[in-house]
Structure 1
Amino acid sequence: MIDNSTDIKRVASGLSNDDRLSETPLARSHEAQKHSYPSHAQDGDDKISVRVENQHASLAVEAAVSIIINGIHYAVLMASPHQLEYLAIGFLFSEGLIQYSHELLDWEVTHLTDIASYQKFAQDSIDESFEPESIEQSLQRFQDYDIYVVELVLSQRCHQRIQAQRRQLAGRTGCGMCGITGLSQALPDLSPYSQDHLQHDSNQPTRIDSSNTTVPSLDYLLTLRQQVDAAQHTHQLTGAVHAAAAMHNQHLYLFEDVGRHNALDKLIGWQLREKIDVSCVLMTSRLSIELVQKSIRSQILWLVGMSAPTSTAVRVAERYGLGLAGFLRDNRVTYYTKQDSI
């Protein structure tokens, strides 16, 4: 078990936990548009008007955390950028790299805040196979993200575990790559899949019919949610699975899994296998950056969640033209992108 008798040294600054919390944004304000019916409306009422409210929504920050262990770029995690020292210790312990906290000798957290800090990180971690033009493109793209670099120093005994673990986890975490390459893989350039690119590139086939790009209405989304609630049988039995769902030819197609990312992967696999286009996908979860990235690659036009998106998910969706909506509840939904089209 973890030995708490040894304090872990903070190198980057001497700030207290409270000071670091005030400096680190855990939420960010975004413009949103809430569509709802009055709570007193009855099912039999005719011509009930949809109430539209422009608002500022506070969305959780989802940061990319690059873990560097003894100079080895080990993994990139998506996490809330607070108490990263605890995240680092827990991650090391869960990965089997440390058994006691005193095996972590030193650590430092750096927040990449501007082009200059990105360039320094790139220069410190680059390998010869990465082209300078690719670096510049990556640095521009990284500005959509909150990026933190956590550099850890472990004892020599633990270093041997790192070498063995790298071989086992190379396919899963991209171990052994330089830092800029690792971030580029975790935060990929999706511009070839953006709606603007597909519409203007005559050599790139567009899978989604442009006539099917309308914003999903509140009525459509509420009906879709009702059908998903009724069809989510595994969740009704267990209360422990997520679902990704879409309508095609007036039929609901629903895919369940214990992981929300897996559920969306199943829906995407169904699309590819059956050569089916869907414009709107409903997730029974919050909308994280991974779900947004998968949707953009799959040329899904609208991703809707029953909970909120993260701040990073909204920023990336806006860049690449993905429609994003959340908080789909009994009588309302909140649109976070493409508000001008609604």
Structure 2
Amino acid sequence: MGRLTASRRVTRITLDGVNRQRPDAIAVEEPLEIRVAGSPLSVTMRTPGHDVELAAGFLVSEGVIHRGDQFSRAIHCGGPGTGGEDGNTYNVLDLTLAPGVALPSPDIARNFYTTSSCGVCGTASIEAVEKVSSYDVAEDGIRVEAVDLAAYPDRLREGQKVFDKTGGLHAAALFDVASGELLVVREDVGRHNAVDKVVGWALLNDRLPLRGTVLQVSGRVSFELVQKAVMAGIPVLSAVSAPSSLAVELAERAGLTVAGFVRGGSMNLYTRSDRIVVPSTTPALSETPGVR
């Protein structure tokens, strides 16, 4: 596994006129080329670590696989001149699917490049992004206590070990509502990568579909995060920031609950609010646009 952080000497400037030089930890960002059966599928800019989960989750998000038994193995590979004595930079990952599983269609190709800020950049068309999930999240009868949902961001933050050192990573966590257990936390420079790592963890542990769970993310909710949640069978997506209009539209069509601005003891429910159980002493939810 590559480095998660790097050290850089920085100049610290304060308004009191004192300037100091000191070492600072920054999050590592490196490319990962994902191959399937030797053929390039995508290149994503990511924080090294949990690469197999990242690649497996990416395949789930793209609708290539949806069960653990469809994934066979993954090998980090390289080539002459790509770095290291054995030519292995750990930035190329070749995946093997189980016998009989169809290889990815050329139609899902993303021009083999995905930035850490945008997981759908380079897609041939927006219509190609909206996948057909193998799971129906609308039918999930999950009920989440609002007080529990409000606590998830802090519990996620406690698990952000690399963020503590760098302040520069997104994170995603998966909670089992029935037990209250925090199942997994993953960090990455890309919010979509962090979610793919969580979904990949679930695939590799034969936990798909992720019924009865909440996906908590550290930033905003984009279209792609809603798509990834739906593809993994996650019924509730919670974020500390806002969703986009397209994210809300997709969530509404899919029957996914989206909660935004989950912080400070309050939240906005954008879709499927019937799944969130509020205390009986809580006033009726406001219908006023823009209320937070």
TM-score range relative to shorter protein: 0.3 to 0.5
TM-score by length of 1: 0.41
Question: Which protein has the bigger helix share?
Answer: 1
User: Which has the higher Rg, Structure 1 or Structure 2?
Assistant: 1
TM-score by length of 2: 0.48
Question: Which protein has the bigger strand share?
Answer: 2
